[in-house]
């Protein structure tokens, strides 16, 4: 088994209102088969043995799907491997002697809770504004009554694959959440089932997003950092629908 | 002794649920807002129940220990969801799904519940499609299905290898709509640490805010626990790291019977452990067994790489032993067969702890693109974890703890032995007997949440019209808060030398070695005494650093592992008392000559509902007899 000797520089912050700092740790003897988070587990076990408080970091499924984990690794959201969440990153991508800087997501909308843990609930607020199709259980029609072309279903799926980790926001120099918001809007707006609320949804979600997050200047960092490879094209869909929504919703408002 | 009344409605099995729906009491729309209900857990069952009850007009409080409801572990389910739609015209029906599920569960589930589940399965698909779940579709635009283990029809609906994610996001979106509408109040980062019972009824819960450590009480007319399974008692499992049994265990201690804890499912296709730092095991969806073939080398300790082993020197042991179902035998059968091969010395990989799952013939038949389309994300995940490309070399897989069929005992209405406490999804014991078929967990979670609780909870509430919820300044709440605070302080004050993870890992090893895929009287007795000894060590030598007024992940874990210790003891006792092999419970003393499980229907055709008798006291066994009027008791055969 190959092992690595690493130097970590980790952001430590005791609480939301404390000042934080980068703290250096030597971590020898890391197996290359470990995941990045298992490497942090190892560090934490050693810290506990020394009587030091372990590093707080978010994680849960460790299968790249729950979206809990998310670390800024050497300035890259989720680290160096494209299309990979932090938990799926393995130490064989690093070399012995590497210095690895680990920071929390940094964005105005994501306040630090402790160490590497941030509060991402602003993302939930966006979905609450309109990221749904209104269906009462019991009211749904037979599932096969509306055929959905495979290409449309596939495109909707590609957008729906978002895990809500917030890497796009963290990677964006403006702290914008356009990719996250657009992924949900595109998922629902592409499907026939999502048409009835298409424009009200778009307007509500975009405007909720603007309350919390920065503006998009199309850097494309979000797409590059996305562990699910959500495409920038979704932002085009969102912007188009937003413009249409502004006209349409105004016209409809006049009728009410 | 607890009185177990399963409350199964009268009448023919096909009509029980409809008849019951008519007979249940209703709450008029204007009265609904007078009732407060609590939902703990926001996975498939919890999010669906909270959203639906909110929409009906009840005042719902939903609690999750995650930062967002969307992180619940339902999200990690890969393969699919069963439904008796018979879109393939291949002979499926509600009755067949019911039949397959009872048989797959090795005749240890309640027939009436399973029948209802099969009936509701078709509504779930309708509901989810309407919510915008992007299920896989055929070129004609209609829904696609695939086959899963334990069935000879193609009834599994899927969204690539991320079905759980898409279904959960659907339920989460419905929940978000209700949060926005103000019918559901959401409490993220709030872990339930105590159930409050007053005058024999569930009256509310005590939660701890994981960011601030603040302990608060919440009262309600009814409490629903949708908090998932207890697979993490084994430390290594496919469950998410934080999945735990604390909510159901706390309820158990307050009087809710715990049924069939020894019915744990070991999933056959997981990535084998690579070293001792392994923090969890990763599932590779059962759907892979549609196009992958499982084999081991004929030779013992064959050093050759898999691609150099010729066809005639490979043993496709599942196809050989079970020609009718082949690689698609149920999970318990596939897992035991893999263990048998590895124990014989035919294991593969650096640690000789796996078997091959080979896609060569699948790729030849469907092309690389066809395989990519079906399993792309799983292949990618495998490559990330192992550094090997499964398009080129066969995957290495081995069984791992995945799901727990056991859970809190519930009646037909999903109510536990504590009136007003309902339990749904994996947290209850209801529908899967001793073994769950693939793609049935998602079905059960959503059936319970969207279509069962929204009928049965109002039926309970209707009888309480005019009664206010117990106020949170009542002494029962104060006492429960004090208990929670004391427990928290206790962990911080032990000041020992061993971390929570270290103790949890040791507990898991005791369980896996003695109460895993093969169990014996001797091993179980040994495990019970080792668990008790380790528990003493936990109380004496635990080290939890930091304080209780900030985010403290070690402290959270300490409480969960503390409960796992007690649960582990019960699990072993249940396994010890059940002198038969059935489904996921395999007692080496009870097997046929060719190693198949031998049930004992004369003595064990019952659900074992254990009653908590106090710390350190032997739990009390209650039995709910199971009758099989439709699916006749028979030895399962997949040959």
> How confident is the model at residue B30, as a pLDDT?
97
Torsion of CA A217, A75, B383, B144, to 10 degrees: -30
Core vs surface per residue B74-106: b (16+ CB within 10 A) or e: bbbbbbbbbbbbbbeeeebebbbbbbbbbbbbb
> How confident is the model at residue B542, as a pLDDT?
98
DSSP B309: S
> How confident is the model at residue B79, as a pLDDT?
85
B residues 358-377 closer than 8 Å to A (CB)? none
CATH architecture of A3-114: Roll (3.10)
Round to whole Å and give the CA distance between B6 and B9: 9
Q: Is B242 in contact with A60 (Cβ distance < 8 A)?
A: yes
DSSP A252: H
Q: Are B243 and B555 in contact (CB under 8 A)?
A: no
> How confident is the model at residue B638, as a pLDDT?
80
B residues 234-253 closer than 8 Å to A (CB)? 240-242
Measure the CA angle with vertex B70, ends A198 and B227; round to 5°.
Answer: 135
pLDDT tens digits for range A232-254: 999 999 999 999 999 987 777 77
Residues of A in contact with B172 (CB under 8 A): 127
Burial class (CB in 10 A: 0-12, 13-18, 19+), A118: buried
In chain A, which residue's Cα lies nearest the Cα of B384?
Answer: A88
pLDDT tens digits for range B176-218: 999 999 999 999 999 999 999 999 999 999 999 999 999 999 9
Which residue, among B62, B187, B384, B549, would best test binding to A if mutated, counting the most A CBs under 10 Å from its CB? B384
A residues 25-64 closer than 8 Å to B (CB)? 31, 33-35, 37-38, 41-42, 44-45, 48-49, 51-54, 56, 58-64
CB proximity B389 to A under 8 Å = no
User: How many other C-beta atoms lie within 10 A of the C-beta of residue A112?
Assistant: 20
β-bridge pairing A117-118 and B215-219: unpaired
Q: Are A109 and A175 in contact (CB under 8 A)?
A: yes
CB proximity A65 to B under 8 Å = yes
pLDDT tens digits for range B16-43: 999 999 999 999 999 999 999 999 999 9
A27: helix, strand or coil: strand
What number of C-beta contacts closer than 8 Å exist between A and B?
Answer: 214
Round to whole Å and give the CA distance between B171 and B73: 13
User: How many other C-beta atoms lie within 10 A of the C-beta of residue A13?
Assistant: 18
Residues of A in contact with B231 (CB under 8 A): none
At A256, the pLDDT band (50, 70, 90 cuts) reads low
Strand segments, DSSP code E, in B405-487 are: 407-408, 421-423
> How confident is the model at residue A226, as a pLDDT?
98
pLDDT tens digits for range B109-163: 999 999 999 999 999 999 999 999 999 999 999 999 998 888 899 999 999 889 9
Q: Crossing angle, helix B163-181 and helix A150-160, to 10 degrees?
A: 70
Burial class (CB in 10 A: 0-12, 13-18, 19+), B308: exposed
At B622, the pLDDT band (50, 70, 90 cuts) reads very high
As given in the structure block, the two tokens for residue B218 are 């919440």
Token look-up 């027939």 returns B111
pLDDT tens digits for range B440-469: 999 999 999 999 999 999 999 999 999 999
Residues of B in contact with A92 (CB under 8 A): 387
Round to whole Å and give the CA distance between A253 and A245: 11
As given in the structure block, the two tokens for residue A111 are 């306040």
> How confident is the model at residue B111, as a pLDDT?
98
> How confident is the model at residue A2, as a pLDDT?
87
Backbone torsions φ then ψ of A112, nearest 5 degrees: -70, 135
Q: Are B90 and B114 in contact (CB under 8 A)?
A: no
DSSP B554-616: HHHHHHHHHHHHHHHHHHHHHHHH--S-BTTB-BTTSB-TTS-B---HHHH-EEEEEE--STT
Q: Are B25 and B455 in contact (CB under 8 A)?
A: no
Domain residue ranges in chain A: 3-114, 121-255
Q: Are B185 and B60 in contact (CB under 8 A)?
A: yes
Backbone torsions φ then ψ of B22, nearest 5 degrees: -70, -40
Closest CA to B268 of B16, B588, B517: B517
Q: Which of A113, A128, A187 sits opposite B179 (nearest CB)?
A: A128
Closest CA to A84 of A203, A248, A214, A227: A227
Q: Is A128 in contact with B174 (Cβ distance < 8 A)?
A: no
Core vs surface per residue B461-492: b (16+ CB within 10 A) or e: beebeeeebbebebebbeebbeebbeebeebb
pLDDT above 70: percentage of residues in chain A: 99
Q: Are B58 and B50 in contact (CB under 8 A)?
A: no
Distance from CA of A122 to the nearest CA of B (A): 10
Residues of A in contact with B385 (CB under 8 A): 35, 88, 90
> How confident is the model at residue B256, as a pLDDT?
98
Distance from CA of A65 to the nearest CA of B (A): 6
CB proximity A88 to B under 8 Å = yes
Round to whole Å and give the CA distance between A35 and B277: 10
CB proximity B275 to A under 8 Å = yes
B275: helix, strand or coil: coil
Same CATH topology for A3-114 and A121-255: the answer is no
CB proximity B387 to A under 8 Å = yes
B333: helix, strand or coil: helix
> How confident is the model at residue B259, as a pLDDT?
98
> How confident is the model at residue A40, as a pLDDT?
98
Q: Are B598 and B580 in contact (CB under 8 A)?
A: yes
At B636, the pLDDT band (50, 70, 90 cuts) reads confident
CB proximity A195 to B under 8 Å = no
> How confident is the model at residue B26, as a pLDDT?
97
Q: Which residues of B does the annotation mark as catalytic?
A: 331
CB proximity A228 to B under 8 Å = no
DSSP B409: -
Domains in chain B, CATH or no CATH each: 268-401 (3.90.700.10)
Round to whole Å and give the CA distance between B424 and B448: 6
pLDDT tens digits for range B527-582: 999 999 999 999 999 999 999 999 999 999 999 999 999 999 999 999 999 999 99
> How confident is the model at residue B593, as a pLDDT?
87
Whether A51 shows a pLDDT value over 60: the answer reads: yes
- Mean pLDDT over the full length of chain B: 96
Closest CA to B221 of B36, B58, B53, B41: B36
Round to whole Å and give the CA distance between B418 and B229: 19
pLDDT tens digits for range B224-282: 999 999 999 999 999 999 999 999 999 999 999 999 999 999 999 999 988 878 899 99
pLDDT tens digits for range B364-410: 999 999 999 888 888 998 999 999 999 999 999 999 999 999 999 99
Q: Is B177 in contact with A89 (Cβ distance < 8 A)?
A: no
In chain A, which residue's Cα lies nearest the Cα of B56?
Answer: A136
Core vs surface per residue A78-105: b (16+ CB within 10 A) or e: bbebeebbbbbbbbeebeeeeebbbbbb
At B639, the pLDDT band (50, 70, 90 cuts) reads confident
HEC profile for B360-405?
Answer: HHHHHHHHHHHHHHHHHHHHHHHHHHHCCCCCCCCEEEEEEEEEEC
As given in the structure block, the two tokens for residue B471 are 């106020």
**CATH of the domain spanning A121-255, picked from 1.10.540.10, 1.10.287.3510, 1.10.630.10, 1.10.1060.10:** 1.10.1060.10
> How confident is the model at residue A159, as a pLDDT?
98
pLDDT tens digits for range B457-508: 999 999 999 999 999 999 999 999 999 999 999 999 999 999 999 999 999 9
Q: Is B554 in contact with A150 (Cβ distance < 8 A)?
A: no
> How confident is the model at residue B50, as a pLDDT?
98
Residues of B in contact with A187 (CB under 8 A): 132, 134
Closest CA to B335 of B351, B354, B316: B354
Closest CA to A88 of A68, A106, A109: A68
Q: Chain-centre distance of CA A208, in angstroms?
A: 17
Q: Is the dihedral of CA B602, B608, B611, B614 positive or negative?
A: positive
A78: helix, strand or coil: coil
């Amino acid at each position: 088994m190959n092992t690595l000797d690493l130097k970590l520089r980790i952001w430590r912050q005791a609480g939301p209102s404390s000042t934080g700092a980068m703290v250096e740790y030597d971590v020898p003897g890391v197996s290359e088969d470990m995941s990045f988070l298992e490497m942090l587990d190892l560090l934490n076990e050693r810290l506990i043995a020394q009587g030091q408080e372990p590093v707080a970091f978010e994680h849960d499924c460790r299968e790249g799907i729950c979206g809990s984990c998310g670390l800024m690794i050497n300035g890259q959201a989720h680290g160096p491997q494209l299309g990979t969440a932090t938990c799926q990153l393995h130490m064989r991508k690093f070399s012995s002697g590497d210095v690895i800087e680990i920071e929390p997501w940094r964005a105005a909308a994501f306040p630090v809770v402790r160490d590497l843990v941030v509060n991402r609930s602003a993302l939930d607020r966006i979905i609450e504004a309109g990221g749904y199709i209104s269906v009462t259980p019991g009211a749904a029609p037979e599932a096969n009554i509306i055929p959905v072309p495979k290409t449309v279903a596939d495109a909707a799926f590609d957008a729906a694959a978002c895990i809500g980790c917030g890497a796009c926001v963290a990677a964006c120099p403006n702290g914008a959440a356009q990719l996250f918001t657009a992924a949900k809007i595109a998922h629902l707006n592409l499907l026939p089932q999502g048409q009835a609320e298409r424009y009200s949804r778009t307007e509500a979600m975009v405007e909720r997003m603007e309350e919390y997050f920065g503006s998009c200047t199309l850097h494309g960092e979000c797409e590059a950092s996305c562990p699910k490879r959500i495409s920038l094209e979704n932002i085009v869909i969102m912007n188009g629908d937003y413009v249409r929504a502004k006209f349409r919703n105004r016209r409809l408002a006049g009728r009410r | 002794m607890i009185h177990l009344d399963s409350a199964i409605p009268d009448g023919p099995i096909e009509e029980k649920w409809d008849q019951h729906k008519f007979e249940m009491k209703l709450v008029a729309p204007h009265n609904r807002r007078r009732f407060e209900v609590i939902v703990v857990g926001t996975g498939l069952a919890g999010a669906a129940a909270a959203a639906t009850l909110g929409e009906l007009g009840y005042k719902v409080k939903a609690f999750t220990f995650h930062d967002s409801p969307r992180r619940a572990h339902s999200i990690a389910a890969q393969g699919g969801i069963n439904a008796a739609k018979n879109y393939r015209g291949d002979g499926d029906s509600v009755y067949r799904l019911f039949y397959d599920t009872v048989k797959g569960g090795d005749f240890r589930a309640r027939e009436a519940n399973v029948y209802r589940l099969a009936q509701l399965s078709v509504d779930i698909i309708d509901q989810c499609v309407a919510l915008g779940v992007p299920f896989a579709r055929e070129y004609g635009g209609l829904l696609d299905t695939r086959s899963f283990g334990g069935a000879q029809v193609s009834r599994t609906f899927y969204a690539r290898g991320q079905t759980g994610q898409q279904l959960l996001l659907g339920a989460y979106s419905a929940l978000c709509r209700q949060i926005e509408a103000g019918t559901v109040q959401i409490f993220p980062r709030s872990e339930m640490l105590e159930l409050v019972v007053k005058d024999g009824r569930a009256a509310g819960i005590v939660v701890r805010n994981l960011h601030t450590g603040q302990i608060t009480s919440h009262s309600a007319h009814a409490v629903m626990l949708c908090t998932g399974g207890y697979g993490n008692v084994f430390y290594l499992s496919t469950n998410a790291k934080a999945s735990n049994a604390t909510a159901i265990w706390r309820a158990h201690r307050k009087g809710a019977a715990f049924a069939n804890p020894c019915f744990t499912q070991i999933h056959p296709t997981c990535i084998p452990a690579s070293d001792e730092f392994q923090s969890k095991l990763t599932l590779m969806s059962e759907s892979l067994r549609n196009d992958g073939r499982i084999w081991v080398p004929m030779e013992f300790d064959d050093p050759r790489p898999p691609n150099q082993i010729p066809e005639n020197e490979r043993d496709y042991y599942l196809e050989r032993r079970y020609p009718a179902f082949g690689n698609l035998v149920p999970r318990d059968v596939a897992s035991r067969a893999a263990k048998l091969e590895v124990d014989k010395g035919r294991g593969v990989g650096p640690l000789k702890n796996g078997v091959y799952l080979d896609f060569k013939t699948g790729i030849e038949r469907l092309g690389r693109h066809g395989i990519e389309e079906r399993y792309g994300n799983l292949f990618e995940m495998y490559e990330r974890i192992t550094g090997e490309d499964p398009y080129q070399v066969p995957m290495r897989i081995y069984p791992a703890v995945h799901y727990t069929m056991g859970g809190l005992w519930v009646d037909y209405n999903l109510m536990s032995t504590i009136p007003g406490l309902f339990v749904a999804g994996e947290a209850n014991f209801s529908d899967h007997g001793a073994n769950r078929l693939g793609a049935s967990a998602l079905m059960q979670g959503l059936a319970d949440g969207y279509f069962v609780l929204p009928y049965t909870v109002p039926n309970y509430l209707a009888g309480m019209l005019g009664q206010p919820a117990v106020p949170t300044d009542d002494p029962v709440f104060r006492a429960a808060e004090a208990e929670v605070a004391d427990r928290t302080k206790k962990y911080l004050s032990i000041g020992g030398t061993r971390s929570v993870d270290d103790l949890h890992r040791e507990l898991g090893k005791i369980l896996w070695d003695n109460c895993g895929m093969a169990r014996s009287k001797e091993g179980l007795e040994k495990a019970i005494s080792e668990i008790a000894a380790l528990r003493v060590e936990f109380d004496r030598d635990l080290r939890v650093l930091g304080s209780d007024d900030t985010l403290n992940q070690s402290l959270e874990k300490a409480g969960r592992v503390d409960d796992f210790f007690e649960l582990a003891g019960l699990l072993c006792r249940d396994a010890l008392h059940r002198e038969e092999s059935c489904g996921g419970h395999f007692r080496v003393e009870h097997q046929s000559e060719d190693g198949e499980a031998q049930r004992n229907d004369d003595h064990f055709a019952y659900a074992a509902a254990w009653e908590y008798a106090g710390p350190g006291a032997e739990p009390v066994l209650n039995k709910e007899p199971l009758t099989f009027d439709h699916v006749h008791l028979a030895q399962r055969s997949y040959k």
